[in-house]
Chains A and B, each alone.
Chain A
Amino acid sequence: MIGQQIINGVTLGSVYAMVAVALTLSIGVLNFLNFSIPGLFMIGGMALWALLDAGIPWPLAVVGALVIAVAASLMVERFTWRWLRGAPHFVPLVSSMAFLLLFEHIAIAYWGSDMRVVPEAFSGGDWRIAGLVIGIPQLMGLLCSIALVAGLSWLLASTRTGRALRTIAEDPDTALLLGVDINRVVSVVFIVAGLFTALAGILFAINYRQVHPFMGEAVGLKGISAMIIGGMGNIWGSIVGGLIIGTTEVFAISYFGADFVDLAVFGLLLAILILRPTGLFRGMQPVRFGI
């Protein structure tokens, strides 16, 4: 029983973790809390459903949903961060929130506000090991998120783009005078954010088989909590934070019932913040955030 709960918690947690990674990258490099991310999560899930509904085969539908979400993310970049870079920091934040509303209402206008059911992705694809049920989608989700985060860490640590991103995070003016085309490099952050978030939305849709226009909001809140628990700007910390929140949620449901989930999750967040206000791990860019 407990083993199964952990597996389910990790599945849910890996969805939160990917959303948290997208959020934390945006904060760490751009100092920008990107509130459109829950909207991108929803786009990933709903676009997958819509494409499948239109009769498009699975692999193409997944790729299509990712492409749509990345395009939406780049649109957010163009109209929030790029235009409002010089503005006080809450201005891009508020306009990204406007994008969340925009995305949700476009989804309602196109697809209605009903919950939609996503068809089963892998029929008969469960593994049973020592009495535990591990779904292929669950396993895939976890592996995807670990592989993507490993790829992202490598990008940040060892590539030209990664060096440029870390330079921008610390000192955008110096990046500019070294000849970095800031707009081009920053779009990488938004592409990665779109990709991670939409993939999380797709995995959520595959695992729980339900999508609706507001599906991003609750997940977004958990993603923000996961990011804070892991230490803002720390991508591996976000993974740990996501897994902690996912498992807490699953255990809370099974021991106390669904009504107590938020109490347990946000109570844990509060407790961690009281004990360690900067999260469990140090941020990627301590210079940026101070102590």
Chain B
Amino acid sequence: MLLNVRDLDVRYGRVHAVKAMSLNLAAGEVVAVLGANGAGKSSLLRALLGIERIAGGRVEFDGKDVTSWPASRRVKEGLVLVPEGRRAINALTVEENLLMGAYNRRLTSAVKKEVDEVYDRFPNLAARRKSRAVVLSGGEQQMLAIGRGLLAAPKLMMLDEPSLGLSPRLSEEVFVAIGELSREKNITILLVEQNTHRALEIAGRAYVVELGRVVAVGSPETLMSDGTMLEAYLGQGKATSAMSKRLKVAS
């Protein structure tokens, strides 16, 4: 297992954002985490990276217990987050933003070649490499965020809502890029998305979370076939407590 999470707890004061979540990812997998707003998805990713304090449980990454490691050490180990809202640094140029991705690596010619690879993959960025990131469109900023993540040499790339706020066409480009990264570079992907259907198309497995708990896990086919569940958790309808009870039993 590349990532093995056992009974993870995250709390913000009195809010219990993540409750005893357990999940695991094998190397090379694409796994989606689905759930409504406030289900604890972002908190989960931030805790895995080490920028949210872990209140309980255990995180193993690549065979090492990283539960108490600082974020900088986890990033060095290849655990990388592409955050929600892209978070490009406006005062830095596109190229400097990419170099920030490689912050913990020595700037060897290999890294410079990787920067060029990012430009090949996302030609829009190449055209603006000396411009400040503030001039980029939303879609370009997402490409920049993914490129920046790539330069950290990720073993596991966690993406938090990469299609949020993008037009359908741009979202499509982002999902295609994510699929390519997984296939061509064999990067393991943990994808948090509200765009359920699109996420399930590229994921091999998915976890469904509600109010900080994992309520279902399975292949896209299994999850899609359960129409009630999709309606309940994944956007189209409102969850009722009766449905959630039924699902907990099922999972």
A and B from one assembly? yes
On whether A163 and B92 interact (CB within 8 A), knowing A177-B51, A178-B75, A180-B103, the answer reads yes
Complex: A131 Cα to B83 Cα, angstroms: 65
Q: Size range of the interface on A?
A: 10 to 19
The interface bits of chain A over 156-170 (1 if a CB of B lies within 8 angstroms of the residue's CB, else 0) are 000010011011011
**Are A180 and B72 also in contact (CB < 8 A) when A160-B103, A160-B107, A163-B99 are?**
yes
- Is B135 an interface position by the 8 A CB rule? no
Among B71, B81, B91, B96, which residue has its beta carbon within 8 angstroms of that of A287? Answer: B91
* Other-chain contact of A166, B74, B83, B89, B104 (Cβ < 8 Å): B89
Report chain A residues within 8 Å CB of B99.
160, 163
Q: B49 → chain A, closest Cβ, in Å?
A: 6
For the complex formed, measure the closest distance between the CB of A265 and the CB atoms of chain B, giving whole angstroms: 32
Residues of B within 8 A of A169 (CB): 91
Does A173 sit within 8 A of B, measured CB to CB?
A: yes
> Which of B71, B89, B91, B92 touches A179 (beta carbons < 8 Å)?
B71
Q: Does B101 contact A (CB under 8 A)?
A: yes
Residue B70 lies at the interface, judged by CB distance under 8 Å to chain A: yes
- Proximity string of chain B (95-127) to chain A, C-beta cutoff 8 Å, 1 when within and 0 when not: 010011101100100000000000000000000
The interface centre, meaning the residue of A179, A181, A287 with most chain B CB atoms within 10 A of its CB, is A179
Asked whether A174 is an interface residue with its Cβ less than 8 Å from the other chain, the reply is yes
Query: What residues on B are CB-neighbors of A285 within 8 Å?
Result: 91
Contact status A287-B152, CB under 8 Å: no
Given A179-B75, A179-B103, A179-B104, do A174 and B90 touch, yes or no (CB 8 Å)? no
Q: Return chain B residues, CB-CB under 8 Å to A178.
A: 75, 100-101, 103, 148, 152
Residues of A within 8 A of B107 (CB): 160
For residue A176, CB closer than 8 A to chain B, the reply is yes
In the complex, what distance in Å separates the CA atom of A167 from the CA atom of B103? 11
- Chain B nearest CB from A160 CB (Å) reads 7
Assembly CA distance A287 to B132 (angstroms): 13
List, in ascending order, chain A residues with CB within 8 A of B71's CB: 176-177, 179
Chain B count of residues within 8 A CB distance of the other chain = 25
How many Å lie between the Cα of A176 and that of B51 in the bound state? 7
Q: How far is the CA of A181 from the CA of B73 in the complex (A)?
A: 9
Given A166, A167, A171, A179, which contacts B72 in the complex, CB threshold below 8 Å? A179
B53 interface residue, CB < 8 Å from A?
A: no
Within 8 A of A (CB), among B66-98: 70-72, 74-76, 81, 83, 87, 89-92, 96
Instruction: Among A163, A177, A179, A287, point to the contact of B83 (Cβ < 8 A).
Output: A177
Contact count A vs B, C-beta below 8 Å? 59
Q: Chain A nearest CB: distance from B27 CB in Å?
A: 21
Binary contact readout B153-189 vs A (1 if CB under 8 angstroms, 0 otherwise) = 0000000000000000000000000000000000000
In angstroms, how far is the closest chain A Cβ from the Cβ of B20? Answer: 24
Question: Which residues of the other chain, A, contact B76 by a CB distance below 8 angstroms?
Answer: 179
Q: Mark A99-124, 1 if CB is under 8 A from B, else 0.
A: 00000000000000000000000000
Contact yes or no, B89 A177, CB < 8 A: no
Give the docked Cα–Cα distance between A16 and B251 (Å): 69
- Contact among A170, A173, A177, A181 with B91 in the assembled complex (CB-CB below 8 Å): A170
**Contacts of B89 on A, CB cut-off 8 Å?**
166-167, 170-171, 174
Indicate if the CB atoms of A163 and B96 lie closer than 8 Å: yes
Whether B104 and A174, one on each chain, are in contact in the complex, defined by CB atoms closer than 8 angstroms, is no
Answer whether A287 and B103 are a contact pair too, CB < 8 Å, given A163-B96, A177-B81, A181-B72: no
Q: Which residues from chain A contact B46 at a C-beta distance below 8 Å? A: 177
A-facing mask of B4-37, CB < 8 A → 1, else 0? 0000000000000000000000000000000000
Provide the bound-state CA to CA distance between A176 and B92, in Å.
Answer: 16
Complex CA–CA separation, A166 to B89 (angstroms):
9
Given A177-B81, A178-B148, A167 and B92 touching (CB < 8 A)?
Answer: yes
Once the chains bind, are B83 and A174 in contact (CB under 8 Å)?
yes
Given contacts A163-B100, A167-B100, A174-B89, A179 and B152 within 8 Å (CB-CB): yes
| Chain B CB within 10 A, most for which of A170, A174, A178 | A178
Give Cα A244–Cα B205 distance, bound, in whole angstroms.
Answer: 66
Query: In the assembled complex, how far is the CB of residue A67 from the closest CB belonging to chain B, in whole angstroms?
Result: 28
17 residue pairs A–B, Cβ–Cβ below 8 Å: A160-B103, A163-B96, A163-B100, A163-B103, A167-B89, A170-B90, A171-B87, A177-B81, A177-B83, A178-B101, A178-B103, A178-B152, A179-B72, A179-B74, A179-B76, A179-B152, A285-B91
B residues near A (Cβ < 8 Å) are 46, 49, 51, 70-72, 74-76, 81, 83, 87, 89-92, 96, 99-101, 103-104, 107, 148, 152
In the complex, besides A173-B87, A181-B72, 18 extra interface pairs with C-beta distance below 8 angstroms are A160-B99, A160-B107, A164-B100, A164-B103, A166-B91, A166-B92, A167-B89, A167-B92, A170-B89, A170-B91, A171-B87, A174-B83, A176-B71, A177-B49, A177-B81, A178-B100, A180-B100, A287-B90
User: Which 3 pairs show the lowest CB-CB distances between chains A and B?
Assistant: A179-B75, A174-B87, A181-B72
